[in-house]
Amino acid sequence: MLKIAIKACVLATGMGAVSATAADIAPMAMIVAQGGLGDGSWNDTANAGFMAGMEKTGIEGRPIESKDVAAQGEEIMRRAASGGFGLVISLEWIHGEAMEKVAKDYADTNWVIMNQTREGDNIASVLFSEHEGSFLAGALAAYVTADTSISGINEEAIIGVIGGTKSPGIDKFIVGYIQGAKAVNPDIDVKVAYAESFGDPAKGQQMAQAMFDEGADIVFQVAGGTGIGIIEAARAAGRYAIGVDTDQDGMAPGNVLTSMVKRVDVAVERIVEAYAADEFPGGETLLFGLEQEGVALSEMMHTKDIIPASYIAKVEELKAEVIAGNIDVWDVFEQGYPDFFK
């Protein structure tokens, strides 16, 4: 069962009884991040948790989409609070600074920001240890890219990663991925590129194909909807992609090596339950890491038969070392950027 570690308190499964009927509780809004619903990744996973929370609690709510959600963040949040929503969850990283400002003006509204910590007694911050899960993805990729007995793998130790935009939120994945790969092979070549979009599958496919042409045989996608094209490029080229946020292995069975899964669905559902029970964790930071099973590699249902069991076992050993604190996986939010990424 997934645990949620929170500074100063614990948000557990099985919340207390709701203090009021669902009809008495103000409705909820979830602001969808760049890439929109249908990205098969971050937004869709979060929305699944939002819908599950509504079904479980009976509280009404709706997702909010915008064609320019990054630039219109403050306006969207103010409209939501003015419109009577009692809980506003934003999935968009860029909204963090604006949320601190808006939350002060709407003290009776409960606010949630993802992937960062923001100050405010009515703000709950949700963090995921994406760097830890990405470390495992990089390690697995490094083992696989060196094994030419695996179909689609060439003789060069080259892998890649494509981010949606260059930002600390995306680089947290990328740095962890590179560190994991270099922990296995210090000489591995990890190609890095940014699509500057979370909703352009065609661009993702083009960029991934370019990496494959340059010798990479595995590309990690950290680009939301753009990543759908990265996965398609892997399928078309007979190479491998690594999915992100949700289990994307089934998008191209056999060509998605694994997925680095973030349980944002569970986080959102738990927060909705807490709101319904009048136990909203305002002012707290909720942490989902390897130890809490908040990030993990997928079960690799379509590839586990082609990956030597010894590689998976070695990755599990690395996971245990991270949890035990024997491996310090670099976190760009806490430590800035490492020399190996500059």
| Beta strand ranges found along the chain (DSSP E) | 5-6, 9-10, 28-31, 61-64, 87-90, 110-114, 123-128, 158-163, 189-194, 218-222, 240-245, 256-262, 285-288, 295-297
Residue-level pLDDT at 281: 97
All structural domains of the chain with their residue ranges: 2-128+264-288, 130-261+308-335
Residue-level pLDDT at 240: 98
Residue-level pLDDT at 248: 95
Residue-level pLDDT at 188: 98
DSSP 26: P
CB-CB neighbours of 10 under 10 Å: 11
Please write the tens of the pLDDT for every residue from 1-36. 333 344 433 454 444 444 467 778 999 999 999 989
Architecture of domain 2-128+264-288: 3-Layer(aba) Sandwich (3.40)
Identify whether the C-beta of residue 239 lies closer than 8 Å to the C-beta of residue 214: no
C-alpha triplet 27, 31, 33: angle, nearest 5°: 160
Counting residues of the chain whose pLDDT is more than 70, the rounded percentage is: 94
Residue-level pLDDT at 4: 39
Q: Domain 130-261+308-335 maps to which CATH number in 3.40.50.2300, 3.40.50.920, 3.30.2130.10, 3.50.40.10?
A: 3.40.50.2300
Residue-level pLDDT at 28: 98
Please write the tens of the pLDDT for every residue from 159-191. 999 999 999 989 999 999 999 999 999 999 999
Q: Do domains 2-128+264-288 and 130-261+308-335 have the same CATH topology?
A: yes
- Residue 283 reports pLDDT greater than 90: yes
Please write the tens of the pLDDT for every residue from 220-271. 999 999 999 999 999 999 999 999 988 999 999 999 999 999 999 989 999 9
Please write the tens of the pLDDT for every residue from 42-81. 999 999 999 999 999 999 999 999 999 999 999 999 999 9
Please write the tens of the pLDDT for every residue from 198-217. 999 999 999 999 999 999 99
Residue-level pLDDT at 11: 54
Residue-level pLDDT at 41: 85
Predicted TM-score (pTM) of this structure: 0.79
Taking residues 303-317, what's their average pLDDT?
97
CA-CA distances (angstroms) from residue 211 to 142, 193, 207, 277? 16, 9, 6, 49
Instruction: Give me the sheet containing 28-31, strands edge to edge.
Output: 9-10, 5-6, 285-288, 123-128, 110-114, 87-90, 28-31, 61-64
Identify whether the C-beta of residue 281 lies closer than 8 Å to the C-beta of residue 6: yes
Residue 328 dihedral angles phi and psi, to the nearest 5°: -95, 105
Please write the tens of the pLDDT for every residue from 96-151. 999 999 999 999 999 999 989 999 999 999 999 999 999 999 999 999 999 999 99
